[in-house]
């Protein structure tokens, strides 16, 4: 599965995008087909990825 790993501490624009998506700075944040998952929420990720 392809993914992009972004270090929000090293990239100010990515940090701004994180705040825009989540309203905060919690990490990890995973976006699957436009759906934002904050933290490692295995059940939600499984639903979104249809695993």
Q: What is the pLDDT of residue 51?
A: 67
Residue 4 domain-assigned (yes or no) = no
Residue 2 domain-assigned (yes or no) = no
Task: Determine the Cα–Cα distance for residues 16 and 23; give it in Å rounded to an integer.
Answer: 10
46: CB partners within 8 A, 6+ apart: none
Are 22 and 38 contacting, i.e. CB atoms less than 8 angstroms apart?
yes
Residue 39 domain-assigned (yes or no) = yes
Q: What is the pLDDT of residue 32?
A: 94
Domain count, the chain: 1
pLDDT tens digit string along 2-50?
Answer: 889 999 999 999 999 999 999 998 889 999 999 999 999 999 999 999 9
- Strands 29-32 and 35-38 come out as antiparallel
User: Domain range for residue 42?
Assistant: 12-49
Residue 45 domain-assigned (yes or no) = yes
Burial 26-43 (b: 16+ CB within 10 A, else e): eeebbeeeeeebbeeeee
């Amino acid at each position: 599965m392809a993914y992009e790993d972004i270090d929000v501490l090293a990239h100010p624009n990515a940090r701004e995008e994180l705040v825009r998506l989540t309203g905060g700075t919690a990490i990890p944040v995973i976006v699957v087909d436009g759906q934002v998952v904050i933290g490692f929420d295995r059940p939600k990720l499984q639903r979104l990825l249809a695993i």
